[in-house]
Amino acid sequence: RKDILGLQNLSAEEIGLILDTAVPMKEILGRAIKKVPTLRGRTVVTLFYEPSTRTRTSFELAAKYLSADSVNLSASTSSVVKGETLKDTARTLVAMGADVVVLRHPMAGAPNLLASTIPAAVINAGDGAHEHPTQALLDMFTVREKMGQLAGLNVAIIGDILHSRVARSNIWGFTKMGARVRICGPATMIPPEIEAMGVYVCTRMEEALDGADVVMMLRIQLERQQQGLFPSIREYARLFGLNRKRLALARPGALVMHPGPMNRGVEISPEVADGVNAVINEQVTNGVAVRMALLYLLGGGGMPDA
Ligand code: CP
């Protein structure tokens, strides 16, 4: 397999291989000197058409820890603003020696287009509301590390499902690995086709939280809301915000997750975000390990053919 474009097209075995490969990568992160020569001579370029803190920085660090050369390109400071197309931009990067291109783009399917255009490996770092596979992989890694397994767990994904590529990738990933996924949010933010992905839709947050092993809160994507779809922020927080009282409905020891960035006081209260159940900072650390695993597997370590 040349590229990682989404979890819809990865098998449970492939997901398991990536998670297993991230285990020794996390061990490297715990060392005083976090650098191994594995990808020396390889070049990783991150090409981002949307803002990012976690994904872009963790890919850059992952490449550096594996001794690859890494270059970051933002569309806003590149020749994209002069009208250069995505394909031409990517071909230019390949002509300069890029072996792996990590792409974030507002259009669903942009990484697939790129993967069929350039010989370099393409990793989807988020495409529109379609998929964010590396986020879901780090989420699954975190849950497996904490709970010991994924199969049989009850995973509640709560919030703005309509605009969430994180939700879609996590639904594909967790269901393939044998977990049961429930989703919840305002009716206007639940896309009708979501039930066909094998999830149970809850209209009330209390129902979604009841007996959940994992509670994944999603950011309200205020920048993508259309007029009329969104209640007031105060109303949203009242109906769908996670606070300590609501968290008590979940299983004792349930994990509280958030892909970030968080709207504190909207989808999650500060006391829950900073509480003992939260694994939000561990998700970020694990993101580096999982992205190291992906760079290793695509950069020569051996991702099996699809
Ligand atoms: N979770 C996530 O994708 O965060 P960034 O937008 O900061 O990369």
Across 129-156, average pLDDT = 98
What percentage of the chain carries pLDDT values higher than 70?
95
Render pLDDT for 159-172 as a digit per residue (tens, 0 to 9): 999 999 999 999 99
Q: 305 exposed, middle or buried (CB, 10 Å; 0-12, 13-18, 19+)?
A: exposed
Who has greater pLDDT, 83 or 222? 83
Can you tell me the mean pLDDT for 271-294? Answer: 98
Residue identified by tokens 């709560």 is 158
| Residues of the chain above pLDDT 90, percent | 90
User: Mean pLDDT, to the nearest integer, of 11-16?
Assistant: 98
Quick check: CB of 284 below 6 Å from ligand 1?
A: no
- Alpha-carbon separation of residue 213 from 55, 58, 159, 209, 255 (angstroms): 25, 27, 17, 9, 6
What confidence score (pLDDT) does residue 232 get? 82
Residue 203 appears among annotated catalytic residues: no
The first and second tokens of residue 177, run together, are 């690995």
- C-alpha 8 – ligand 1 centre gap (Å): 20
What's the mean per-residue pLDDT of the chain? Answer: 94
Q: 114: which DSSP letter?
A: H
Nearest Cα neighbor of 18 from 46, 26, 64 is 26
Substitution site in 49, 54, 160, 262 for ligand 1 pocket (most atoms within 8 Å of beta carbon):
54
Kind plus residue range of the DSSP H or E element containing 91: helix 86-95
Residues 6+ apart with CB under 8 A from 36: 28, 65, 66, 67
Q: What is the pLDDT of residues 29-54, one digit of tens each?
A: 999 999 999 999 999 999 999 999 99
* Residue 47 and residue 118 in contact, taking contact as beta carbons nearer than 8 Å: no
Give the closest residue to 131 by CA, choosing from 263, 285, 3: 3
pLDDT, average across residues 5-21: 97
Quick one: average pLDDT of 190-199? 93
Q: What is the pLDDT of residues 232-270, one digit of tens each?
A: 888 889 999 999 999 999 999 999 999 999 999 999 999
